[in-house]
Chain A
Amino acid sequence: MEIENIVDVENLMLRFYTYEGIVEALDGVNLHIKPNEILGVVGETGCGKSVTSLAILGIVMPPGRIENGKIIINVNGKQIDILKLHEEAIRKIRGKDISMVFQEPRAYLNPVYTVFDQISEVLIEHRKQEFINRALQTLKNQPKKSTITNFYISIYEKWSKNPNSLLIRFLSKIPILRRFQNPFKKELRKEVVQLLKSLGMADPERVADSYPHELSGGMAQRVVIAMALACNPTLLICDEPTTNLDVTVQAQILELIRALRAKFKSSILYITHDLGVIAELCERVAVMYAGNVVELAPVIELFKNPLHPYTRALLESIPRPGQPFKSIPGIVPSLINPPKGCRFNERCNYAMDICYKIKPKFIKVKEDHFVACHLYGE
């Protein structure tokens, strides 16, 4: 039985329309992520890794525009093409089924709101009903009920039936009256603290009340991860989450991610330019260059048997003690007027005539090993 992929990206094309010209950022990206696996995406700066992940989330901002392709995600047993959804529908998926962890955590947290505010925001957006019910339950379970408690119970019953009622929303804006939200907020707080604790925070209560600039890099990153995991997403996208952290913290975070994958059974798309992290963390890996996925294979297979010339050059350029540095000659082509044919043609040692004319297709060469190169295939 074929297990459906969590995400299937087919031939994704994305352009940025800027003053300097049209940037062909993504030129037919293909990748797929299986359930409960960690897929690494590796490539140089500017190769399109981050943009791909933003596209999966559906937050490509103008002047960028998706021109072509499909992004099919498998959520709750249903297969949906994100690119065909309208904003309302995608919003329900964002943050709940697919969520993202970013590179520089403190820049990605709003400096004027506390950690609790920001994490509970996700919970309120996607799991509001659940927490209203929890609060209701807690209120009902109280042995001695005062009049206020009874009053609250009646409010919460109404609220539970209609979470978005206008009356409730109106009341929550009035200073003294909005105290009725306290049981609700208490439930949220319990969840947030629990979440922070499960991420290894020593003093979760204090962290919850802190502002982002009061946190260290590692703590801020955990907060961002907590925000992403708050709703048990099926897919977690990590965009170079440890690049700006020092190595010890990096190791902790990686360990954390592995543990979380085991616990929540989500898939992870891990973007990085660090081959070492790929080797340690990921099960399969996609190599990207200048807006294309050039190779996709299980990690061990890739390291043992790199097929694409770029992958080979990358692996060869890993510094080894006692040996001179080997870099890839040339520079990444400008994406405003990209070269015809394969974009790696200028720098490839194995370039043939056809590489300058026709773009290589992304094909399956071996079991679970895909390449886009004219050396393979017809």
Chain B
Amino acid sequence: MGLREYIIRRIIMIIPIIIGAIILIFAVVQLIPPGSRALLYVRTERDLQFLDQIIKAHKLDASPVEQFADWLRQILEGNFGWTRVGRGPVLNVMFAKWPATIEIVMFAAPLTIIFGIILGVISAVHRDKLPDHITRLISIAGYSLPSFWLGLILLSLTYITTGTVITGRVSNSVQNIVKSQAWHTYTGLYTIDGIINGRFDVVLDALKHLALPVIVITTINMAGIIRLMRSSMLEALTKNYIITAKAKGLKNTKVINKHARRNALIPVVTIAGLMVAGMLSGLVITETVFAFEGVGQWAAQCATQLDIAGVIGFTIFTGLLFVISNLIVDILYAYIDPRIRLG
């Protein structure tokens, strides 16, 4: 079957899952008392004073079945409720904060993949010898580290060495620049916008503040890639075509790099897509530690302050993101490896 049929088939398989996920979230929402639940229907700030009427209007103390259709309609209209923490409608607040989070992922993801692949290959080629043990120790330590602990250590270290604590997206002086009239926002990413606006001091400042969160996220996620690359590479090295390559008289490095690695990369490259969505979990904690004004920090605050609309909205969105990246990963895999398409 061709690529197109495969894509269509996968998309069709996704639909019941999305429906089921929404039902699951709805079930979770049902656990919340009606008073708090009303926040999910609020559109404007004024509505906050009329919670009782909202409860009556959407029959929040009646049967779940009636509520479901109503709530679904709300969602489809784009009304996820009002977040106290963000002081605005959930969707708007989330979209305003996304660029910050994307900026971290933008730098962390390529670094994770590149380092992961390099270290994974080293680990596999020198299996059970010193480089392997060291690499594995690094990678296992990497994902055993609590992200908040690593973040706090890095914060402390920067204070000890430089005398200042680096938190937030930009320092105060740059903050004024960004808020001023002279600044044009194109993408919301300070690094890109800084280049477009021609203000390289902004770019530098943003990079300085991005460094630590990116280090934390990279360290923690790198381990997964290293492990996968290692086992994938080990499996590729047992394959018969490696013997053929050796029998042709090729140099050992060429055998590893040209023949084994290309085959080993196939599952890794596709898992990398999943990893990006998985970074969100780590970002919730990391952004909190560094007071980085992204979606993660907002979600953490919503959880702490029991801001129901925020938490539910965030969960639905990350769920959707996860499902879509799963889909893309599957399609990518079928594209790269023609054998998969045969079903």
Contact = CB atoms under 8 A, between A and B. Distances in A.
Whether the complex brings A and B within 8 Å at their CB atoms is answered yes
A337 to B, nearest CB: 26
Interface residues of B, number: 19
Interface string B271-309: 000000000000000000000000000000000000000
Nearest to A121: B248
Contacts of B262: 110, 112-113
B245 A110 contact: yes
B165 interface: no
23 contacts: A57-B246, A59-B246, A93-B249, A94-B246, A95-B248, A95-B249, A95-B250, A99-B247, A102-B240, A104-B240, A107-B239, A108-B240, A108-B244, A109-B244, A110-B245, A110-B262, A111-B241, A111-B339, A113-B262, A125-B248, A126-B249, A224-B244, A227-B244
A113 B255 CA distance: 13
A204 to B, nearest CB: 20
Nearest to A123: B248
A227 to B, nearest CB: 7
Contact of A91 (B250, B259, B266): B250
Interface of chain B, helix or strand or loop or mixed?
helix
A59 B247 CA distance: 7
Contacts of B326: none
A41 to B, nearest CB: 17
Interface string A118-137: 00011001100000000000
Interface string B251-276: 11000000100110010000000000
B339 A91 contact: no
A92 interface: yes
B137 interface: no
A233 to B, nearest CB: 11
Given A211-B338, A213-B339, A108 B243 contact: yes
Interface in A60-112: 87, 91-96, 99-100, 102, 104, 107-112
Given A112-B263, A213-B339, A107 B240 contact: yes
A57 B262 CA distance: 25
Given A108-B241, A109-B241, 20 more contacts: A59-B243, A59-B246, A91-B249, A93-B249, A94-B248, A99-B248, A102-B240, A107-B240, A108-B243, A110-B259, A111-B339, A112-B262, A112-B263, A112-B266, A121-B248, A121-B250, A125-B248, A213-B339, A224-B244, A227-B244
B247 A57 contact: yes
Listed from nearest, the 8 A-B pairs whose CB atoms lie closest are: A95-B249, A94-B249, A95-B248, A110-B241, A107-B240, A108-B244, A108-B240, A91-B249
A54 B244 CA distance: 11
A91 B251 contact: yes
B248 A102 contact: no
B206 to A, nearest CB: 31
A92 B240 contact: no
A100 B247 CA distance: 7
A227 B246 CA distance: 13
